[in-house]
Structure 1
Amino acid sequence: MRILIVDDDPLAGEMTQAILEEAGHDCLFAANGLEALEHLADETPFELLVSDLHMPLLSGLELFREIREQGLDLPFVLLTGDDPEPLRAQTPGLAACLMKDDSLETDLPRLIAQL
């Protein structure tokens, strides 16, 4: 699966990318939401977007809303250090909202296999 990863923290983004590449996925990293929008405009489509919630310029939720306004129905997984339950409830259309913690290494590949 071709996946776009968006995170303003390079270490967290690299960790997410390593987890997904180890699971056999082709990943591209974007350092912020604006860069992600540029990648989404490229000709080669992505099958999934995994984004951090808290980022400058364009938050993960703002990125989600922007791609939906553009008509992209790309599955979107939001990663957060906050409690993910309220975000799931308040944001219909998210494929998932996962906690950025030690369980991410097992939870993220399992979730993507289900998508």
Structure 2
Amino acid sequence: MRILVVDDDPLAGEMTAALLEFQGHETLLANDAMEATNQLDAHDDIALIVSDMYMPLINGIELLDMLREQGITLPFILLTGDTPDDQLRQTPGLSACLQKDAALETTLEQAVAQALHG
């Protein structure tokens, strides 16, 4: 079971992947929506997607919408540098929306557990 991390900032993506790996998960990295769809096509054991919100061309919400249109219903956690508002948190199909802050290690672990195990 793997987690796909999508982030246009390689350092941020690697840091998110490192947090997840420290928590015992296998990760794959993608720099954008196109790489994300390629990873999803190549690996049938991806159980969860963790995506950055602000990326060029296709942002995290647009990626979520694109995947849902393709029938991909994997749990989807959105990360943002901003404080997420209620409207963003309540986006249909989103498992969680988390701020990239000092508490991310804890909040991400909780969100992943909830997304994977209900």
TM-score by length of 1: 0.93
1:31 matched residue in structure 2: 31
Q: Does 1:88 align with 2:94?
A: no
Is the contact between residue 64 and residue 93 of structure 2 (CA under 8 Å) also seen in structure 1?
no
d(CA) in 2 for partners of 1:43, 1:55: 23
Whether the 8 Å contact between 2:5 and 2:17 is mirrored in structure 1 is yes
Tell me which amino acid in the other structure corresponds to 2:30: A
Q: CA deviation at 1:93?
A: 1.5
TM-score (norm 2): 0.91
Runs of 4+ off more than 4 Å: none
Gaps in structure 1 of 5+ consecutive residues: none
Alignment of 1:36-51 (within 5 A): 36-51=36-51
Number of paired residues? Answer: 114
What displacement does 1:43 show? 4.3
* Deviation at residue 40 of structure 1 after TM alignment: 1.0
Deviations 1:24-65 (A, max 9, x none): 001000011111011111242310000000001211111100
Matched ranges for 1:1-115 at <5 A: 1-85=1-85, 86-89=87-90, 91-115=91-115
| AA matched with 2:7 | D
Deviation at 1:105, TM superposition (A): 1.2
User: In structure 2, how many angstroms separate the alpha carbons of the residues matched to 1:96 and 1:21?
Assistant: 19
CA RMSD of aligned residues (A): 1.1
Q: Percent identity, aligned pairs only?
A: 57
Distance 2:45 2:67 in 1: 13
